[in-house]
Amino acid sequence: MRTRLIVCTLCVVVLAVCLPVHAQKIPRVGILRAGAGPTGGQPDAFVQALRSLGYVEGKNILYDLRYAEGNRDRLRALAIELVQSRADAIYTGSSPAIFALKEASQTIPIIMVSSTDPVRSGIIASLAKPGGNITGMSLIANDLWPKRLELIKEILPKASRVAIFWNKSNTGMAIEAKATQEAAAPMGITLQDRGVKDPSEMELAFNAMSKERPDAFLALMDIPLRAHQKRILDFLAKDRVPAIFESKDWVQAGGLISYGPEGADVTRRAAAQLDKILKGAKPSDIPVEQPTKFEMVVNLKTAQQMGLTIPPNVLARADRVLR
């Protein structure tokens, strides 16, 4: 009788320990991308970053990935779908997607990577105390475009006319364009505004640049414009217009130079913030971080094709030089 009692007691203890483990809910994380998904069977970059933190899909995390393929109307619909699916948290990396999610939910934790100023655009209350349900990374684009203008002056000291190409339908990008315009005059640069409301207007913008011959080209690219990378680079090569970009993929595809935050580091830090939320932290209490690692990439082959000589001091600062 005593043996039976001991066995029963042990069973109760085992059940008490095991049941909470089996009943524990696996968190579901939504990932909303304004563009297309990764190619070649590669996992999403954010999924890879979370994997390095110990998150294994199906074991201790579930993913709900949605890609808008550059369609803004579809982006809003996907944001609503993710909210209605009761995701425990959602990650996104573009201003239109952030605004779509902000409109769709004020309660689900959202981790963002914002290229524009998230305070000035009304996404959060402040970097230190974001409030609400959104936190993440701010890429301080407003501060970086003046630095890119300075790079242009280093490469082309006599540059006085610079075309700025951007999407006028993107609210966040309008803030970046304004900050760039404010920085240009003190440098002795006149900006030629070649913003477009839709990619269908690109040819008009290119025709205007061909006539006015800017000394350089500032490329403020969002998802709809990035979809036309080849057309944009073909124009710049044909008209021999030096251009500076935010990210290295444009330089790897044939652009002249890029300067901006290191993408992999930004993604890793955003993943660490999500990790905090999944462990119980509130997004309102997690400060929005800014990048600390930046990279400059120069394409010397493109420079030679345009008849440009990149100054040694610029090459010395480059993290990578493509030859």
Average pLDDT over residues 265-283: 97
Tell me the per-residue pLDDT of 144-155, one tens digit each, with 9 for 90 and over: 888 899 999 999
Average pLDDT over residues 56-80: 93
Give the number of C-alpha atoms closer than 13 A to the C-alpha of residue 293, restricted to the C-beta side.
Answer: 9
The number of beta carbons lying within 10 Å of the beta carbon of residue 184 is 19
Tell me the per-residue pLDDT of 169-218, one tens digit each, with 9 for 90 and over: 888 888 888 888 888 989 999 999 999 999 999 999 999 999 999 999 99
Cα dist from 36 to 29, 70, 221, 227, 262, whole Å? 18, 7, 15, 9, 21
The closest alpha carbon to 61, from 83, 79, 32, 87, belongs to: 87
Average pLDDT over residues 218-225: 90
- Tokens 């640049």, residue? 209
Residue 23's pLDDT is what?
A: 53
Which residues are CB-neighbours of 123 under 8 A, at least 6 positions away?
Answer: 98, 99, 102, 112, 114, 134
The closest alpha carbon to 137, from 42, 280, 264, 281, belongs to: 264
The model's pTM: 0.86
Domains of the chain (ranges, CATH numbers): 2-139+263-285 (3.40.50.2300), 141-261+294-322 (3.40.50.2300)
